[in-house]
C-alpha cells in the first residue's frame, strides 16, 4: 500500500490550491503573480506538486502556450482541498531564504552574532551556515562591505555607512518585488499578497525589520507633501525608492549611525531647488519621529529626490519646453543613431524625445551621484529583446563620452524600452520622405550609379528624378517638389540646397547628406506643385513605345571588345572614337566631350575594377553602350596615377536624347552597382553571355513599366 507523506512544503501547498481554484488552465506567470514569488520558483516546485497529486490519484495537465491544470471534476478538486487542509507543513528554508535572514540580522546588529544563533533560527547545522556565509561574503564584497568572522566572538560586518545602507536597500529589492512594497506603502497588502510559506514569512518579516511598517505609512504622507512642493508627481518606483531610503535612514539615525558626504558635493547640492524640498521634509521627519536629521543626511535626501523619475501631472512649473537644451541634444543624438541603425524614421516622434529627456535627467543625476539604477524588467528585456539592448548600447556611447560615466546594463535596458516602443509605433506611423534629385554633368551613367547607391542606403530619401545639371530649372524643381539635390559635380546657382558627393557614396559623402537631411527636418515636406495627370490609354501606349524604342536602340548599338594595349584613359577614349565614330569631325567632338566630362570627375568603382566613361554629345545620333575588356593598370585622366582596370563601361548618348532613352540607359548603368552577377559576366563572360544579361535587365525594366501602367488603369 502506498504510504502518503505526512508533510508538505507550504509553498507547494499554496501552488496546488491556486491551480485547483483556477478550475481551468492557469499560467505559471499568473500563479507567481498571485503568490508574490517568481515564475522560476513555481517551476522549481512543480515536480513536488506533481508528486503529491500522483500520490492522490490525480495528475497535472500541461498545455504549451495555455498553462497548467489539475485533472478531475469539481468534486475531486474539493476533496483535494480537504486533503490539503489536513497536511502538516514542513519547515524548510531555501539557501536564498537562509542567506536573506542571516544578512538582515547582521545589517541590523551592531554587535557580533554567534553562529549558534543562526543554527537555532534556521534549524540547520553550522556547516550549512558556514556555506551560506561564504555566499553572503561574496555578495557583500561586491558592494564594498566586509564580512568579519571571528571564532568565539561571532560574525559581523564592517563598511562605510553609505555602503551598508546600500546593502540594506539591495537586500530589500532583491527579495521583495516593487509591487509588494508599493502595496505595503498603500496599506493594501491582502491575504493573497502575504508570503506563501512560513519560511518566506519569517524571511520577509525579518527583512521588513529593516524598515518599520508604521514608519513607511507615515513617510508616504510626507512624500506626497514633498511632491506638492516640487510641483510634479513622482513615478511609483521613485516613491517606493524614496520611502525605503528614508525609512532606513530613520532606523540608522536612531542607532547613531550617521552618513557623511563630501563637503564640495554637499555645497553643490545646497544650490539645487530639490535641497529646499529635502530641508522641509527633514523638518517634518524630525517632528514626527523625534530625531535630529544631520545636514549630510539632508544632502542624501536631496540626491534621492534629484535622481527620482517623475510623471509631470498638473505641473505648475511646466512650459512647452520638455527639458534643458543639453538633455534635448543628448536625446536627439540617441534618436539619430537609432534611425541610422534601424532605418526607421524616429526624428519626428515627439513622444520618444520627451520620454528620453524626462528619463535621462534623473538617470544621469543618479549616475553622477553614484546611486543605483534599478530596472525590474531588465532580465526579461535581456532574455527576450537582446537586439534592442544591442541597439541601445550603440546609442548611448556618445552620452557616456559626454558625461564621462559608463552606463550600467539596467539603464541601457531603460533606453531600449523607450526605443522599442517607438520602433513598434514606427511600423504604423507615417514616415517623412525627403524628395531629392540626382544630378551630374550628363544625366546618365554617374547619376544612375549615385541614385542606386542612395536607394540602397537611405529609406527616407526618394529620388524623384535623375537630371543633367544643364537641365536644372527652378520651375522644374518647384513642380517636382524637390527639397535638395545630390550631385556628383558642382552647381553654381540653385534655389534648393545642393550636396556634392562622390558617385560611389563614401562615408564623408553620407555625412554631408545626413547634415542636409537634418536641416530639412525642421521644414515642411516637399510636394509636387502640380498633381501628376492620369494618362489615358493612348498616352500610356505611346510612352511604352518610347521605352520599347529606347531598349531596341541600346541593344542594336551594344558593343563588346578588348583592348590590352591602352596605357592611359586618353588612349581608351581614342579607341572608343575609332569604334563608334566615322567622320574625323565627329571624333574630335567626341574626344572633347569625353574629356570635359572626365575633368568634372572620373568614375572608378574599385570593388569591381570598373571604369565608367560617359557623356552626352552631338558626335553621335544613336545611343552607344558597350564594354571594353582591359585587365591591366592604366594611367588615370590628367596623369594622376595608375589604377587596375578589368573593364570599362562606355555610355554615349546623343545630345538631344529624350527622357525615355535617358531613363532606360540610366537603369542599365545602375545595374553596374546593383547586380554583381551582371558585373561578373561583363568581366569574365563572353559577348553572347553579356548580351543575354543585358537583354534580361532591359526586359525586367520594360515589365516594370508595363505593370505600372496597368496598375494605374485599375
Cβ 388 vs Cβ 412: under 8 Å = no
User: Mean pLDDT over residues 291-306, rounded?
Assistant: 87
Residues of the chain with pLDDT > 70: what percent?
Answer: 83
User: Confidence class of residue 536 from pLDDT cuts 50, 70 and 90?
Assistant: confident
User: Mean pLDDT over residues 685-700, rounded?
Assistant: 90
Model confidence pLDDT, tens digit, residues 664-692: 988 888 788 767 788 888 988 899 999 99
Other C-beta atoms closer than 10 Å to the C-beta of 68 total 20
458 and 395 part of one domain: no
457 and 377 part of one domain: no
Q: For residue 564, what are the domain limits? A: 537-713
The DSSP code for 208 is G
- Strand pairing partners for 611? 604, 648
User: Confidence class of residue 90 from pLDDT cuts 50, 70 and 90?
Assistant: low
Task: Report strand pairing: 233-234 vs 310-311.
Answer: antiparallel
Q: Is residue 509 in some structural domain?
A: yes
Q: Which three cell numbers stand for residue 601?
A: 570627375
245 and 381 part of one domain: no
Q: Is residue 448 in some structural domain?
A: yes
Residue 525 has pLDDT above 70, yes or no: no
Query: Whole-angstrom Cα distance, residue 454 to residue 333?
Result: 22
The candidate with the shortest Cα–Cα distance to 265, out of 298, 230, 223, 226, is 298
Residue 459 has pLDDT above 50, yes or no: yes
pTM > 0.85: yes or no? no
Look at residue 6 in the predicted model and tell me its pLDDT: 46
User: Confidence class of residue 550 from pLDDT cuts 50, 70 and 90?
Assistant: very high
Place of cell 592611359: 568
119 and 173 part of one domain: yes
CATH number at residue 29: 1.10.10.10
Lowest mean pLDDT among 198-202, 205-209, 492-496: 198-202
Q: Is residue 318 in some structural domain?
A: no
Length in residues, the chain: 714
Lowest mean pLDDT among 133-142, 311-320, 684-693: 311-320
Look at residue 191 in the predicted model and tell me its pLDDT: 39
Residue 20 has pLDDT above 80, yes or no: yes
Model confidence pLDDT, tens digit, residues 331-353: 888 988 888 888 777 877 878 88
Cβ 422 vs Cβ 346: under 8 Å = yes
Look at residue 383 in the predicted model and tell me its pLDDT: 82
Other C-beta atoms closer than 10 Å to the C-beta of 538 total 8
Look at residue 369 in the predicted model and tell me its pLDDT: 78
User: Mean pLDDT over residues 425-439, rounded?
Assistant: 71
SS3 627: strand
The candidate with the shortest Cα–Cα distance to 487, out of 438, 443, 451, is 438
Q: Which of 32, 62, 90 is the last residue of a domain?
A: 90
No. of H helices and E strands in the chain?
A: 30, 17
Other C-beta atoms closer than 10 Å to the C-beta of 45 total 19
SS3 144: coil
User: Mean pLDDT over residues 129-148, rounded?
Assistant: 91
User: Mean pLDDT over residues 267-286, rounded?
Assistant: 88
Look at residue 470 in the predicted model and tell me its pLDDT: 67
Please count the structural domains in the chain.
6
Cβ 206 vs Cβ 105: under 8 Å = yes
Q: Which of 426, 444, 473 is the last residue of a domain?
A: 426
CATH number at residue 483: 3.40.50
The DSSP code for 602 is -
Q: Is residue 673 in some structural domain?
A: yes
Q: Is residue 528 in some structural domain?
A: no
Q: 380 versus 612: which is more confidently predicted?
A: 612
CATH number at residue 297: 1.10.1790.10
Look at residue 149 in the predicted model and tell me its pLDDT: 92
46 and 62 part of one domain: yes
- C-alpha 71: how far from its chain's center? 45
- Which residues are CB-contacts of 438 (< 8 A; sequence separation ≥ 6)? 447, 450, 451, 454, 463, 465, 466, 467, 485, 486, 487
Q: 385 versus 146: which is more confidently predicted?
A: 146
Query: Whole-angstrom Cα distance, residue 196 to residue 35?
Result: 6
Q: Is residue 316 in some structural domain?
A: no
The candidate with the shortest Cα–Cα distance to 613, out of 646, 578, 652, is 652
The candidate with the shortest Cα–Cα distance to 16, out of 69, 57, 54, is 69
Per 3-state DSSP, what percentage of the chain is helix, strand, and coil (rounded to 5)? 60, 15, 30
244 and 121 part of one domain: no
Cβ 23 vs Cβ 81: under 8 Å = no
Other C-beta atoms closer than 10 Å to the C-beta of 380 total 11
User: Mean pLDDT over residues 379-395, rounded?
Assistant: 86
Mean pLDDT of the chain: 80
Look at residue 455 in the predicted model and tell me its pLDDT: 77
CATH number at residue 555: 3.40.930.10
User: Confidence class of residue 192 from pLDDT cuts 50, 70 and 90?
Assistant: very low
Phi/psi at 22 (5° precision): -65, -30
Q: Is residue 527 in some structural domain?
A: no
User: Confidence class of residue 445 from pLDDT cuts 50, 70 and 90?
Assistant: low
Q: Which three cell numbers stand for residue 399?
A: 552620452
458 and 392 part of one domain: no
- Which residues are CB-contacts of 629 (< 8 A; sequence separation ≥ 6)? 560, 561, 562, 563, 646, 647, 683
661 and 581 part of one domain: yes
Q: Is residue 1 in some structural domain?
A: no
- Strand pairing partners for 2? none
- C-alpha 27: how far from its chain's center? 30
Model confidence pLDDT, tens digit, residues 554-602: 999 999 999 888 888 888 898 988 888 866 667 888 888 888 888 776 6
- Which residues are CB-contacts of 198 (< 8 A; sequence separation ≥ 6)? 10, 89, 91
Burial classification of residue 122, based on how many CB atoms lie within 10 Å of its CB (0-12 exposed, 13-18 middle, 19 or more buried) = buried
Model confidence pLDDT, tens digit, residues 214-267: 777 788 888 888 888 877 777 777 787 888 888 888 888 888 888 888 888 888
User: Mean pLDDT over residues 44-69, rounded?
Assistant: 84
Query: Whole-angstrom Cα distance, residue 512 to residue 500?
Result: 8
561 and 703 part of one domain: yes
Phi/psi at 157 (5° precision): -120, 155
Q: What is the dihedral of CA 94, 99, 100, 106, to 10 degrees?
A: 150
User: Mean pLDDT over residues 292-312, rounded?
Assistant: 79
Query: Whole-angstrom Cα distance, residue 105 to residue 147?
Result: 13
Q: Which of 90, 124, 142 is the last residue of a domain?
A: 90
How big is the chain by its Cα radius of gyration, in Å?
A: 38
Phi/psi at 353 (5° precision): -60, -50
Model confidence pLDDT, tens digit, residues 621-655: 889 999 999 988 888 765 557 888 889 999 998 88
Look at residue 193 in the predicted model and tell me its pLDDT: 43
**Ramachandran bin of 64, using left for φ above 0, alpha for ψ from -120 to 50, beta for the remaining angles:** beta
Query: Whole-angstrom Cα distance, residue 615 to residue 656?
Result: 12
Q: 628 versus 465: which is more confidently predicted?
A: 628
SS3 200: helix
Helical residues (DSSP H) of 396-536, grouped into ranges:
397-403, 409-426, 446-457, 474-480, 507-520
206 and 217 part of one domain: no
The candidate with the shortest Cα–Cα distance to 218, out of 287, 170, 310, 275, is 287
Q: 507 versus 391: which is more confidently predicted?
A: 391
483 and 606 part of one domain: no
Place of cell 499568473: 30
636 and 560 part of one domain: yes
Amino acid at each position: 500500500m502506498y504510504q502518503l507523506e505526512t508533510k508538505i512544503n507550504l509553498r507547494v501547498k499554496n501552488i496546488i490550491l491556486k491551480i485547483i481554484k483556477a478550475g481551468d488552465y492557469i499560467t505559471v506567470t499568473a500563479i507567481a503573480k498571485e503568490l508574490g514569488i517568481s515564475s522560476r520558483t513555481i517551476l522549481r516546485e512543480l515536480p513536488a506538486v506533481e508528486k503529491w497529486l500522483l500520490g492522490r490519484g490525480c495528475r497535472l495537465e500541461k498545455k504549451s502556450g495555455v498553462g497548467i491544470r489539475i485533472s478531475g471534476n469539481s468534486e475531486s478538486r474539493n476533496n483535494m482541498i480537504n486533503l490539503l487542509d489536513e497536511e502538516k507543513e514542513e519547515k524548510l528554508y531555501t539557501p536564498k531564504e537562509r542567506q536573506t535572514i542571516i544578512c538582515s540580522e547582521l545589517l541590523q546588529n551592531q554587535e557580533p552574532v554567534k553562529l549558534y544563533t543562526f543554527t537555532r533560527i534556521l534549524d540547520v547545522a553550522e556547516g550549512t551556515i558556514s556555506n551560506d556565509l561564504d555566499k553572503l561574503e561574496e555578495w557583500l564584497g561586491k558592494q564594498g562591505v566586509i564580512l568579519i568572522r571571528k571564532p568565539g566572538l561571532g560574525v559581523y560586518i564592517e563598511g562605510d555607512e553609505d555602503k551598508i545602507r546600500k546593502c540594506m536597500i539591495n537586500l530589500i529589492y532583491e527579495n521583495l518585488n516593487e509591487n509588494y512594497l508599493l502595496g505595503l506603502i498603500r496599506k493594501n497588502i491582502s491575504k493573497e499578497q502575504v508570503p506563501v510559506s512560513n519560511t518566506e514569512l519569517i524571511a520577509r518579516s525579518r527583512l521588513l525589520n529593516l524598515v518599520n511598517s508604521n514608519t513607511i505609512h507615515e513617510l508616504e504622507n510626507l512624500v506626497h507633501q514633498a511632491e506638492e512642493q516640487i510641483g510634479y508627481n513622482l513615478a511609483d518606483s521613485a516613491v517606493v525608492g524614496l520611502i525605503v531610503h528614508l525609512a532606513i535612514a530613520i532606523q540608522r539615525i536612531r542607532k547613531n549611525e550617521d552618513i557623511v558626504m563630501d563637503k564640495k558635493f554637499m555645497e553643490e547640492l545646497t544650490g539645487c531647488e530639490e535641497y529646499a524640498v529635502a530641508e522641509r521634509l527633514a523638518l517634518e521627519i524630525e517632528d514626527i519621529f523625534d530625531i535630529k536629521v544631520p545636514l549630510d543626511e539632508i544632502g542624501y535626501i536631496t540626491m534621492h529626490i534629484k535622481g527620482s523619475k517623475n510623471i509631470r501631472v498638473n505641473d505648475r512649473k511646466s512650459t512647452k519646453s520638455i527639458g534643458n537644451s543639453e538633455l534635448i541634444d543628448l536625446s536627439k543624438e540617441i534618436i539619430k543613431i537609432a534611425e541610422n541603425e534601424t532605418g526607421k524614421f524616429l526624428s519626428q516622434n515627439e513622444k520618444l524625445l520627451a520620454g528620453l529627456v524626462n528619463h535621462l535627467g534623473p538617470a544621469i543625476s543618479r549616475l553622477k551621484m553614484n546611486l543605483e539604477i534599478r530596472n525590474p524588467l531588465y532580465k526579461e528585456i535581456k532574455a527576450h529583446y537582446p537586439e534592442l539592448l544591442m541597439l541601445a548600447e550603440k546609442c548611448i556611447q556618445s552620452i557616456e563620452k559626454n558625461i564621462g560615466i559608463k552606463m550600467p546594463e539596467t539603464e541601457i535596458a531603460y533606453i531600449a524600452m523607450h526605443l522599442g516602443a517607438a520602433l513598434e509605433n514606427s511600423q504604423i506611423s507615417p514616415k517623412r520622405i525627403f524628395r531629392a534629385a540626382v544630378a551630374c554633368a550628363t544625366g546618365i551613367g554617374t547619376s544612375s550609379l549615385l541614385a542606386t547607391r542612395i536607394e540602397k542606403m537611405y529609406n527616407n530619401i526618394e529620388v524623384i528624378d535623375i537630371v543633367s545639371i544643364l537641365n536644372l530649372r527652378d520651375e522644374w524643381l518647384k513642380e517636382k517638389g524637390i527639397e535638395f539635390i545630390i550631385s556628383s559635380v558642382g552647381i553654381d546657382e540653385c534655389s534648393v540646397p545642393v550636396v556634392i558627393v562622390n558617385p560611389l557614396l563614401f562615408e564623408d559623402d553620407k555625412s554631408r547628406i545626413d547634415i542636409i537631411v537634418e536641416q530639412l527636418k525642421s521644414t515642411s515636406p516637399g510636394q509636387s506643385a502640380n498633381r501628376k495627370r492620369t494618362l489615358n490609354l493612348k498616352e500610356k501606349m505611346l510612352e511604352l513605345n518610347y521605352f520599347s524604342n529606347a531598349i531596341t536602340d541600346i541593344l542594336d548599338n551594344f558593343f563588346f571588345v578588348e583592348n590590352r594595349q591602352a596605357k592611359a584613359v586618353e588612349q581608351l577614349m581614342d579607341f572608343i572614337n575609332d569604334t563608334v565614330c566615322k567622320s574625323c569631325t565627329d571624333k574630335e567632338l567626341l574626344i572633347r566631350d569625353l574629356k570635359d566630362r572626365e575633368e568634372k570627375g572620373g568614375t572608378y568603382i574599385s570593388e569591381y575594377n570598373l571604369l565608367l566613361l560617359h557623356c552626352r554629345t552631338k558626335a553621335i545620333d544613336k545611343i552607344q553602350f558597350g564594354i571594353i575588356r582591359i585587365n591591366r593598370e592604366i594611367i588615370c585622366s590628367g596623369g594622376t596615377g595608375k589604377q587596375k582596370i578589368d573593364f570599362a563601361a562606355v555610355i554615349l548618348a546623343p545630345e538631344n536624347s529624350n527622357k525615355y532613352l535617358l531613363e532606360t540607359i540610366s537603369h542599365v548603368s545602375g545595374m553596374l552597382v546593383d547586380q554583381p552577377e551582371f558585373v561578373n559576366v561583363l568581366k569574365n563572360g563572353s559577348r553572347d553571355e553579356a548580351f543575354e544579361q543585358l537583354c534580361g535587365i532591359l526586359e525586367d525594366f520594360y515589365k516594370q513599366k508595363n505593370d505600372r501602367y496597368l496598375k494605374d488603369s485599375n
